[in-house]
């Protein structure tokens, strides 16, 4: 995809505050510091449209970005380890679940998993929820530049086993540092967004 424009629309936590649009939406989920913001910036060819942080739990709202005036990308709060207060974590976890279950123009969930780590309980929850709702997920294995390419198949196989993911489905291998997987992921996202 050629990204002609990418505009931050708004941040919100409650459904009543979400943008009222008819554009198809693609949401990005993953545990804290898995690389969601970096991945979105890489996809858009921007360095800092989506703010990144080394501190886990900095994204505490759903952030909406309008792409080419016809597609919305939604950066969801990271889950798992976070330095945010527990009540804040509970509120944005509930907001994410409500968004995924009830947002009518949500076309696809992209689930980011660190290729070096086993899926945790929350990874499995979002994987299964997306499958149940028919919005994917598209699984993206991030930080592939941190291990040798020869170790990718074993990492993929173990992650798939822990998710109960069939051997007929393959993830997108991605690195924000090398931009590996950028074009492949865009192809998947364009196909997914056309379903809405």
Tokens 């970096």 found at: 38
Which residue, among 116, 138, 12, 120, has the nearest Cα to 64 in the 3D structure?
12
Tens of pLDDT, residue by residue over 58-81, are 457 899 999 999 999 999 988 875
Which pLDDT value is given to residue 188?
Answer: 95
Counting Cβ atoms within 10 Å, is residue 196 exposed (0-12), middle (13-18) or buried (19+)?
middle
For 39, the token pair is: 């991945």
What are φ and ψ of residue 45, in 5° steps?
Answer: 70, 30
Which pLDDT value is given to residue 194?
Answer: 81
Q: Which residues of the chain have pLDDT under 50?
A: 52-58
For 69, the token pair is: 């005036």
How many other β-carbons are positioned within 10 Å of the β-carbon of residue 47? 10
Q: State CA 88 to chain mean position distance.
A: 20
The whole model's pTM is what? 0.91
Which pLDDT value is given to residue 14?
Answer: 87
Peptide bond connecting 62 to the previous residue in cis, omega within 30 degrees of 0: no
What are φ and ψ of residue 59, in 5° steps?
Answer: -85, 110
**CATH topology (fold) of 6-193:** Rossmann fold (3.40.50)
CB 32 within 8 A of CB 81: yes
Q: Where are the domains of the chain?
A: 6-193
């Amino acid at each position: 995809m050629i990204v002609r424009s990418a505009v931050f629309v708004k941040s919100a936590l409650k459904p009543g505050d979400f943008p009222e649009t008819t554009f198809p939406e693609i949401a990005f989920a993953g545990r804290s510091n898995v690389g969601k913001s970096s991945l979105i910036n890489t996809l858009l060819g921007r360095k800092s449209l989506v703010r990144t942080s080394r501190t886990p739990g900095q994204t505490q709202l759903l952030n909406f970005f309008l792409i080419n005036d016809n597609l919305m990308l939604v950066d969801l709060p990271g889950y798992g380890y976070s330095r945010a207060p527990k009540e804040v974590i509970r509120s944005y976890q509930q907001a994410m679940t409500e968004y995924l279950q009830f947002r009518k123009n949500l076309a696809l969930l992209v689930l980011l998993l660190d290729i070096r780590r086993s899926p945790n309980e929350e990874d499995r929850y979002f994987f299964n929820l997306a499958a149940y709702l028919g919005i994917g997920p598209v699984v993206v294995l991030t930080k592939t530049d941190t291990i040798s390419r020869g170790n990718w198949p074993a990492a993929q196989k173990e992650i798939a086993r822990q998710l109960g993911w069939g051997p007929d489905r393959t993830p997108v291998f991605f690195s924000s540092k090398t931009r590996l997987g950028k074009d492949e992921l865009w192809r998947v996202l364009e196909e997914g967004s056309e379903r809405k």
